[in-house]
């Protein structure tokens, strides 16, 4: 028993700076989502029947709007350049992170699945757009959806990614074919909010995605674990798979502890 505990302790790895940055982003994005939700609920309760649009109220409070815009604009600008705190999944596009393995057979099995994800995402958001155009959703709801997407983006990285599990089948975020689609996916609902600040965020996200796709077209060898040693586990600066396993073990321990307690209560 003691040996098992010792082995587990050895397997435990502290959060890397990259993973810590992910958790930091999860926290402040959650705070932003909560702030927008509170603002929207107050708007519906106090101004919902007055005919005043929520975007006009937001524009009257430039601090809230400015923080929302600036946070994501800065994140996207930084993504255009190599950064040590960013995930290897987004950094594999840069020439300096290409480590030749000597292999020439480029394998990217999730390329077709990426197109399927794009189609599903567009259809999914067209549905929300239709609700917006019919007047069921207002601009505030579309902004909230974008904020929810931003939190879900971090949940996908840190805990569970449906795109990875159900469609792409990639081993981890480092080899993810669509990693830099994240901001374009977050700001898809902003297409229906006809304001400069919403469209500038959407435009920046699409440029980021376009740059990613152009790099993939010109240098596919950087995106394949077969040809790029940077994507191998030994070179990973993130170690998220380790943290996910630790969380899985913790969850199982909680389940076992809960089951024991329930058994005692029944007995």
Residue-wise pLDDT tens digits, 84-116: 999 999 999 999 999 999 999 998 888 889 999
Residue 263 has pLDDT above 80, yes or no: no
Of 64, 107, 95, 88, the residue nearest 173 (C-alpha): 88
Give the range among 6-10, 12-16, 92-96, 100-104 with minimum mean pLDDT. 6-10
- DSSP, collapsed to helix, strand or coil, labels residue 210 as helix
pTM value is 0.88
Please count the helices (runs of H) and the strands (runs of E) in the chain.
11, 0
> Rounded to an integer, what distance in angstroms lies between the CA atom of residue 111 and that of residue 68?
33
Residue 265 has pLDDT above 90, yes or no: no
> Rounded to an integer, what distance in angstroms lies between the CA atom of residue 11 and that of residue 264?
32
Of 103, 182, 189, 111, the residue nearest 150 (C-alpha): 182
pLDDT of residue 267: 63
The runs of H, that is alpha helices, within 159-195 are 162, 182-186
The half-sphere exposure of 235 on its side-chain side, counting CA atoms within 13 A, is 17
Of 151, 119, 148, the residue nearest 22 (C-alpha): 151
% of residues, the chain, pLDDT over 70: 93
pLDDT, average across residues 176-203:
96
pLDDT of residue 83: 94
């Amino acid at each position: 028993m003691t040996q098992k505990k010792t082995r587990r302790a050895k397997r435990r790895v502290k959060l890397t700076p990259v993973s810590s940055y992910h958790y930091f982003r999860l926290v402040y994005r959650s705070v932003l989502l909560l702030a927008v939700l509170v603002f929207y609920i107050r708007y519906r309760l106090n101004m919902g029947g007055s005919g005043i649009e929520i975007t006009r109220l937001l524009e009257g409070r430039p601090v809230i709007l400015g923080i929302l815009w600036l946070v994501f604009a800065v994140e996207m600008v930084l993504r255009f350049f190599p950064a040590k705190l960013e995930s290897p999944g987004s950094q594999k596009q840069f020439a300096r992170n290409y480590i030749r393995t000597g292999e020439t057979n480029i394998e990217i099995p999730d390329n077709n699945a990426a197109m399927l994800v794009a189609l599903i995402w567009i259809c999914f958001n067209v549905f929300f757009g239709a609700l917006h155009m019919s007047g069921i959703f207002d601009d505030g709801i579309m902004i909230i959806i974008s904020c929810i997407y931003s939190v879900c983006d971090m949940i996908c990285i840190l805990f569970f990614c449906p795109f990875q599990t159900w469609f792409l089948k990639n081993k981890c975020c480092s080899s993810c074919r669509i990693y830099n689609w994240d901001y374009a996916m977050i700001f898809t609902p902003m297409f229906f909010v006809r304001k400069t600040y919403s469209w500038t965020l959407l435009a920046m996200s699409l440029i980021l995605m376009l740059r990613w796709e152009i790099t993939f077209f010109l240098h596919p060898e950087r995106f394949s674990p077969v040809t790029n040693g940077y994507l191998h586990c030994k070179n990973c600066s993130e170690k998220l798979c380790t943290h996910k396993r630790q969380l899985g073990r913790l969850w199982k321990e909680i389940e076992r502890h809960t089951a024991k307690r329930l058994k005692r209560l029944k007995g």
